[in-house]
Amino acid sequence: MSIVESELETLVGVNESTELEVLNNNALENEAIYILREVAAQFEKPVLLFSGGKDSITLVRLAQKAFYPAKIPFPLMHIDTGHNFPETIAFRDKLVKELGVELIVRNVQDSIDQGKVVEETGKYSSRNMLQTTTLLDAIEEFKFDACIGGARRDEEKARAKERIFSVRDDFGQWDEKNQRPELFDMLNGQIELGQNVRVFPISNWTELDVWSYIQKEEIEIPSIYFAHKRKIFLRDGFIWSAEDDVVFRAEDEKVEERMVRFRTVGDMSCTSAVLSHADTIEKVVGEIRESKISERGARIDDKRSEAAMEKRKQQGYF
- Same-domain status, 261 and 292: yes
> The CATH number of the domain where 121 resides is what?
3.40.50.620
Q: Is residue 214 part of a domain?
A: no
Q: Is residue 138 part of a domain?
A: yes
Q: Is residue 216 part of a domain?
A: no
Q: Which domain holds residue 234?
A: 222-300
Q: Is residue 145 part of a domain?
A: yes
- Same-domain status, 155 and 123: yes
- Same-domain status, 70 and 104: yes
Q: Is residue 7 part of a domain?
A: no
Query: Each residue's pLDDT tens digit in the chain (318 positions)?
Result: 444 344 444 444 445 557 788 889 999 999 999 999 999 999 999 999 999 999 999 999 999 999 999 999 999 999 999 999 999 999 999 999 999 999 999 999 999 999 999 998 877 788 888 999 999 999 999 999 999 999 999 887 777 889 999 999 888 888 888 888 898 889 999 999 889 999 999 999 999 999 999 999 999 999 999 999 999 999 988 999 998 888 888 889 999 999 999 998 888 888 899 999 999 999 999 999 998 887 766 556 555 555 555 665 666 565
- Same-domain status, 113 and 56: yes
- Same-domain status, 136 and 64: yes
Q: Is residue 254 part of a domain?
A: yes
CB burial string 214-240: b at 16+ within 10 A, e below: beeeebebbebbbbbebebbebeebbb
User: What's the chain's Rg over C-alpha atoms?
Assistant: 20
- Same-domain status, 255 and 178: no
Q: What pTM, to 2 d.p., does this model score?
A: 0.88
CB burial string 273-303: b at 16+ within 10 A, e below: bbebebeebeebeebbeeeeeebbebbbbbe
Q: How far apart are CA 142 and CA 129, in angstroms?
A: 21
Q: How many domains are contained in the chain?
A: 2
- Same-domain status, 41 and 111: yes
- Same-domain status, 187 and 232: no
Q: Is residue 9 part of a domain?
A: no
Terminal CA-CA length for the chain: 48
